[in-house]
Homo-oligomer: A and B are copies of this chain.
Amino acid sequence: MIASEVRALFAVASRPEIVSLAGGMPAVDALPMDAVAATVAEVVTLRGAVALQYGSAQGDPGLRARICDVMALEGITDAHPDHVVVTAGSQQALDLLTRVFINPGDVVLTEGPTYVTAINTFAAYQARIVHVPLDTEGLSPAGLAETLARLAAAGVQVKMLYTVPTFQNPGGVTLSAARRAEVVEICRRAGVLVVEDNPYGLLAFDGEPVRAMRADAPDDVVYLGSFSKTLAPGMRVGWALAPPAVTARLVLAAESAVLSQSMFTQLAVDRYLETQPWAQQLKGLRELYRERRDAMLDALAETMPDGASWTRPDGGFFVWLTLPDGVDTKAMLPRAIAARVAYVPGIGFYADGSGRQAMRLSYCYPPPDRVRDGVGRLARVVRAELELRDTFRT
């Protein structure tokens, strides 16, 4: 799917009569708005001359220290603020990394399926994307080794593995602990940089954060983090934690890209985390998303026809649904919209045209009853689609 198609889809999906299982928007209305309003006002009152001025391209030192504390929750205990670069969401960190490392024609490995905007970013720098298979335990180490061997035999140098190991977007699966070490080791031997994109890591439904890949591999992994899912995407505050040599190049790239990040939003996030019960609020968010996940899994089990299968996420925002043979989810989308439910067709998450039988379902934004309604509507569309298929088969 091209970007304009995705945009058109989201425009349609935002109509009130449609249950959107398409977008990945966090539930920002769960935030205590009074506390946020007080925080942003205090930042101006107390530190206006700093908050409203230019800052450094690397980001505010106080926020970078706090980000190290946040990453410690995921087992990263050796991070130093000097090696953190604050970015406009983790998307900008990915863009700057790609700018620094990728030349036209270079190969980037990603999970198949993978995050749609990462595909756009790699394509913008004319990288060649090669997918590595994903199963319910995440990225397949065997698949990774095979892919690397095949590319090496063809004389192709691989620069980077881009992975969302925890509550993957769009797969909803998590790379198992055993596989994490294996994936890092395979990449280390092949000289491939691992980029661990982890926006959902603190949204584990059992409350125990998954240990980051970066925690055990400081020299081999660039970690990308974000406050977009744990606080508010409207602030555009994310970051990269990288080995020193990479950090220096990211800072130069950031300076050339935006001169400096917004000091105002950086200080707002920093002060919010300092003064508000953020850990408690995160717990509330986990419960909210767990309830919506449960609603989706229950509704899928109740309504989907035989032959459909789906993932069971332990955190994050997404379920990956695979339909029975012979259904094309992109072709089906207009009929789903007519039935007042929206999703993103699987083909959008691959660079190679795969995914026609699958779709991403997001449970993050609609309340549980809307999630149930949406899945019910979707199931009726799928059943009608299967009847049509069977009619034409006979």
Residues of A within 8 A of B (CB): 3, 25-26, 28-29, 31, 33-34, 36-38, 40-45, 48-55, 88-89, 91-92, 95, 99, 117, 120-121, 123-124, 228, 232-236, 252-253, 255-265, 268
Contacts and interface: CB of A to CB of B under 8 A. Distances in A.
A25 B40 contact: no
B37 A256 contact: no
A235 B44 contact: no
Contacts of A38: 41
Contact of A259 (B29, B40, B89): B89
Contacts of A45: 33-34, 37
A334 B263 CA distance: 30
Contacts of A236: 258, 260-262
B89 A233 contact: no
Nearest to A248: B4
A3 B56 CA distance: 12
| A-B pairs, 3 with minimum CB distance | A52-B232, A37-B44, A52-B234
A41 B37 contact: yes
This chain's copy number in the assembly: 2
Contacts of A263: 234
A259 B91 contact: yes
A287 B41 CA distance: 28
A49 to B, nearest CB: 5
Given A53-B234, A256-B120, A44 B36 contact: yes
Contacts of A43: 40
A289 B75 CA distance: 51
A252 B124 CA distance: 9
Nearest to A257: B95
Contact of A28 (B49, B120, B235, B261): B49
10 contacts: A25-B53, A28-B48, A33-B44, A33-B48, A37-B48, A53-B233, A88-B88, A92-B258, A95-B258, A121-B256
Nearest to A117: B259
A235 B257 contact: no
Contacts of A259: 89, 91, 117
Contacts of A120: 252, 255-256
A28 B53 contact: yes
Q: Which of A37, A43, A120, A252 has the most CB of B within 10 A?
A: A37
Nearest to A11: B56
Contacts of A34: 45
Contacts of A265: 262, 264-265
A63 to B, nearest CB: 13
A36 B48 contact: yes
Contacts of A51: 234
Contacts of A252: 3, 120
Which residue of A88, A91, A234, A253 has the most chain B CB atoms within 10 A of its CB atom? A234
Contacts of A28: 48-49, 52-53
B37 A258 contact: no
A255 B117 contact: yes
A123 B99 CA distance: 13
Contacts of A232: 52-53, 264
